[in-house]
Amino acid sequence: MHASTPRPRVLFVCVENSNRSQMAEAFARLRGGGRVEAVSAGSRPSGQINPKAVRCMAELGYDLSGHASKSLADIEGAFDAVITMGCGDACPWVPAARREDWALPDPRALDDTGYRAVRDEIDARVQRLLETL
């Protein structure tokens, strides 16, 4: 990429912005190596990051404790891709050249094994996404 070319902007959306979209944002930052600008937000943000998400991401060397649960109303600018996490009609329309719904289960109530399985699926999908941006 040429130095004057802007980085692709990706928005990850779920309802509470406390689990799936936060992990997707983290993986995009972790795996993207600065080649992408990743943001996450929720249609009804919980105001906190799930401690289970913080713990499960720490297992992979990413500190999620510095993230904040954000509202879509606070997100500005255009995005190259908007990825919804399977929140169905609860996710409002955000314009983007590319849109995907990953239809991932909400891991909030899952045990650690189930939570890690969702985390690892998000990681794999983010890596595939980064290859195509």
Active site residue 56: no
Distance of CA 55 to the CA centre of its chain: 16
**Which is catalytic among the residues 39, 91, 126, 130?**
91
Which residue intervals of the chain are DSSP H helices? 20-32, 51-58, 112-132
118 close to 107: Cβ distance less than 8 angstroms: yes
Greatest Cα pair distance, the chain, in angstroms, is 45
Active site residue 91: yes
**Which is catalytic among the residues 26, 87, 118, 129?**
87
**φ, ψ for residue 62, nearest 5 deg:** -115, 125
**Which is catalytic among the residues 14, 23, 56, 118?**
14
**Calpha distance 69→83 (Å, rounded):** 17
Active site residue 87: yes
Any bridge partners for residue 10, and if so which?
38, 81
Residues recognised as catalytic: 14, 87, 91
